[in-house]
């Protein structure tokens, strides 16, 4: 049975269960097709191909989110792709031959290293690499500048459609509807987490809350960077999110106590969510009694949040949200061990594919390394699953395109085929094989319009060769160890946890929160990234002679430390005693565990030992017991006790 299959095999059949994004389907249907039609109608099909390619790659990045988020997630990779097209097309006139191999190697190194910085950087690196390979190898007339501009114009066309045809939430209003929905989702996730306290789903609900905070944090960060936060509505939304982070921090103390909570407590965050969506006032909010530090902190944070959401300005004592400057962290991820590993893996696989393609067929060699580029990116899922699904999806796409070419005739049918495939692209992201088949139909339509009408069979052969190369090179002893990627992310999460703990230890009772919310979010986000990497690594085909690692005990213990630290930070404001020397030893143990993960030769032993040491230090520190002081019984229901948001701040 499939349930009994090993993870690397079961992952082949896993798919995402998502609602159909109808707005994105409409955008995809009118993105590539009209560009190809315009090129055929004007006799400039050679320029319509890079434009349609830019629109297709932009469509791959057309994911749910706000309009501003779409500008970043589509626009930045499109700029990188235009640069790659300019670079590849500029070097193409030098002649075809082996000189292209070092160029592909250099671009692959940069692409892989940049991919370690985050999802947007990964998409930018991917588009730069693929566009550079296409510019080097695809025989299209036109100047390099024109090709780059048309590529950028195609992506800009999809982005314009995104701005004009974006769906909005039913209850959100105004130009900041997407951002309002993201902040409101934080309150909904908080209500769900409070409702699950003491139940089996509590841990999953709390992680959903972390994910909602991450999404909202990204949205409001764009408001700051785009200066939208200076407007009145933008400033009010930023204040509401700052209040939401403070409320979530106070709620962590309630979640950490693991005591049953009255059902009516969840009504407060629900009403706050409705108020944020409608830009209205929350009205009367139920609140817990202030019988413990955690209840008192939640009581006060709920009142502060109601003040901010009601538009009365920031409440007294509300922590200021200081944006993190990403420059130093970005360089560290790109130039650090993760960037070097990613860059080396991508460079070896793509360069080997380019060399084999040039040896076999120098006239159309670009398909093979471009296929390898999509396969080898380590942030796109398990390698074995991607290669098998890539081959299956390419075979299905070639068959579908061949069937269409046998049924239809003339020069216009590829335009209709591209429009139909473009409409399927947003839905195809649910499974990699489905996405590959749709992309294959699109690319074959572009190539057919560009003049290559007999290449469908060769594409399947090139894909099979690329899959074999990636499986071979990608599973080399050093490059093929999936534990290395988890090692880097886990070590980073442990270091951020240590930084957060030391900051809380240095906090004086009554002192403003300062950087504490930022450090707490950084720790939770790093832990989520490490868990995601561990899940992907568990579904990799294990290399021979490389033992597996059980990362979950270490990640769970580190997460408990972050939770206990957050709960202690809340209790600290209510007179909890200062931490003992054992808590400082816990901070030193976190630092030692991160160093061990970075330097250990026997990674399996290092992971297990670090989990045991951190769990022992956490028990002996008394941090968990301190966070639960005076919390013997259930948090009492307050009956008719309510909070009403004031009309103005006081």
DSSP string, 502-542: HHHHTPPTT---TTHHHHHHHHHHHHHHHHHHHHHHHTS-P
* Range 158-191 burial, b when 16+ CB lie within 10 A, else e: bbebbeeebeeeeebeeebbbbbbbbbbbbbbbb
**Distance (Å) of CA 421 to CA 161, 382, 521, 604:** 17, 25, 39, 45
* Mean pLDDT of the 284-299 span: 70
Residue 315 and residue 239: Cα distance in Å, rounded? 9
> What sign does the CA torsion over 455, 457, 458, 459 have?
positive
Q: Per-residue pLDDT tens for 489-520?
A: 899 999 999 999 999 888 766 566 667 888 88
Q: Which tops the pLDDT comparison, 63 or 226? A: 63
The 8-class DSSP code of residue 111 comes to H
Q: What is the pLDDT of residue 479?
A: 64
Q: What is the pLDDT of residue 633?
A: 41
Classify 1 as helix, strand or coil: coil
Residue 228 and residue 259: Cα distance in Å, rounded? 41
Q: What is the 3-state secondary structure (H, E, C) of 462-473?
A: HHHHHHHHHHHH
Q: What is the pLDDT of residue 646?
A: 45
Q: Per-residue pLDDT tens for 230-275?
A: 566 677 788 888 888 888 888 887 777 677 777 777 888 898 888 8
Q: Per-residue pLDDT tens for 167-205?
A: 554 444 566 777 888 889 999 999 898 888 877 777 788
Establish how many alpha carbons lie within 13 A of residue 198's alpha carbon, considering only the half-sphere containing its beta carbon: 12
> What sign does the CA torsion over 324, 326, 332, 338 have?
positive
Q: What is the pLDDT of residue 505?
A: 86
Integer-rounded Cα Rg, in Å, for the chain is 27
Q: Per-residue pLDDT tens for 75-127?
A: 999 999 999 999 999 988 775 678 889 999 999 999 988 887 888 888 999 99
Q: What is the 3-state secondary structure (H, E, C) of 34-72?
A: HHHHHHHHHCCHHHHHHHHHHHHHHHHCCCCCCHHHHHH
Q: Which residues contact 153 (CB under 8 A, 6 or more apart)?
A: 51, 54
Cβ-based neighbour number of residue 4 at 10 Å:
7
What is the residue-averaged pLDDT of the chain? 80
Q: What is the pLDDT of residue 588?
A: 93
Instruction: Check: CB of residue 2 under 8 Å from CB of residue 10.
Output: yes
3-state helix, strand, coil in the chain (%, to 5): 70, 0, 25
Q: Which helix (H) or strand (E) holds 284?
A: strand 284-286
Q: Is residue 407 pLDDT above 70, yes or no?
A: yes
Instruction: Check: CB of residue 381 under 8 Å from CB of residue 345.
Output: no
């Amino acid at each position: 049975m499939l349930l009994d299959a090993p993870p690397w095999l079961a992952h082949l059949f896993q798919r995402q269960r998502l609602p159909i994004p109808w707005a994105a389907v409409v955008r995809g249907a009118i993105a590539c097709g009209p560009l190809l039609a315009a090129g055929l109608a004007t006799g400039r099909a050679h320029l319509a191909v890079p434009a349609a390619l830019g629109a297709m790659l932009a469509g791959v990045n057309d994911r749910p989110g706000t309009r501003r988020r779409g500008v970043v997630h589509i626009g930045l990779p499109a700029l990188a792709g235009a640069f790659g097209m300019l670079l590849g097309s500029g070097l193409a006139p030098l002649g075809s031959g082996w000189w292209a191999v070092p160029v592909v190697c250099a671009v692959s190194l940069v692409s892989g290293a940049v991919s370690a910085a985050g999802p947007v950087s990964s998409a930018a690196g991917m588009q730069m690499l693929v566009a550079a390979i296409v510019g080097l190898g695809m025989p299209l007339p036109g100047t390099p500048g024109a090709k780059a501009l048309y590529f950028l114009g195609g992506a800009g066309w999809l982005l314009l459609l995104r701005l004009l045809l974006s769906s909005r939430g039913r209850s959100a209003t105004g130009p900041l509807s997407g951002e309002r929905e993201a902040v409101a989702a934080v309150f909904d996730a908080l209500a769900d987490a409070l409702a699950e306290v003491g139940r089996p789903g509590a841990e999953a609900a709390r992680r959903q809350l972390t994910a909602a905070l991450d999404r909202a944090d990204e949205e409001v960060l764009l408001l700051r960077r785009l200066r939208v936060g200076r407007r009145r509505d933008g400033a009010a939304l930023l204040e509401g999110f700052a209040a939401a982070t403070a409320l979530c921090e106070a709620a962590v103390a309630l979640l950490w106590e693991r005591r049953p909570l009255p059902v009516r407590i969840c009504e407060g965050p629900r009403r706050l969510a409705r108020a944020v969506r409608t830009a209205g006032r929350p009205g009367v909010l139920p609140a817990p009694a202030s019988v413990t530090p955690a209840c008192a902190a939640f009581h006060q944070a709920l009142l502060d949040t109601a003040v901010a959401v009601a538009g009365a300005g920031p409440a007294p004592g509300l922590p200021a949200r200081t944006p993190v400057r990403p420059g130093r962290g970005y360089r560290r991820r790109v130039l650090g061990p993760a960037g070097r590993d990613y860059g080396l893996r991508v460079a070896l696989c793509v360069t080997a594919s380019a060399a084999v393609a040039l040896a076999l067929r120098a006239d159309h060699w670009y398909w093979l390394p471009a296929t390898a580029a999509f396969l080898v990116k380590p942030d796109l899922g398990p390698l074995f699953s991607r290669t098998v699904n890539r081959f299956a999806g390419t075979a299905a796409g070639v068959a579908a395109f061949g069937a269409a070419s046998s049924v239809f005739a003339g020069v216009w049918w590829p335009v209709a085929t591209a429009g139909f495939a473009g409409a399927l692209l947003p839905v195809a992201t649910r499974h990699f094989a489905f996405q590959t088949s749709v992309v294959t139909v699109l690319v074959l339509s572009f190539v057919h319009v560009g003049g290559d009408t007999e290449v469908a069979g060769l594409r399947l052969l090139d894909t099979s060769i690329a899959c074999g190369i990636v499986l071979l090179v990608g599973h080399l002893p050093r490059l093929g160890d999936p534990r290395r990627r988890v090692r880097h992310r886990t070590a980073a999460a442990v270091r951020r946890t240590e930084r957060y703990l030391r900051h809380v230890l240095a906090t004086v009772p009554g002192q403003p929160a300062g950087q504490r919310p930022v450090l707490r979010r950084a720790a939770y986000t790093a832990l989520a990234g490490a868990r995601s990497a561990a899940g992907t690594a568990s579904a990799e085909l294990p290399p021979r002679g490389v033992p597996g690692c059980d990362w979950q005990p270490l990640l769970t213990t580190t997460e408990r430390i972050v939770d206990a630290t957050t709960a202690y930070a809340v209790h600290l404001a209510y007179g909890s005693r200062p931490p003992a020397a054992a808590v400082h030893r816990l901070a030193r143990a976190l630092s030692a565990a991160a160093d061990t993960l970075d330097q250990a030769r026997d990674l399996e032993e290092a992971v297990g030992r670090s989990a045991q040491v951190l769990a022992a230090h956490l028990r002996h520190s008394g941090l968990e017991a301190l966070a639960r002081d005076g919390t013997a019984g259930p948090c009492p229901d307050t009956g008719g006790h309510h909070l009403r948001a004031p009309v103005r701040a006081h």
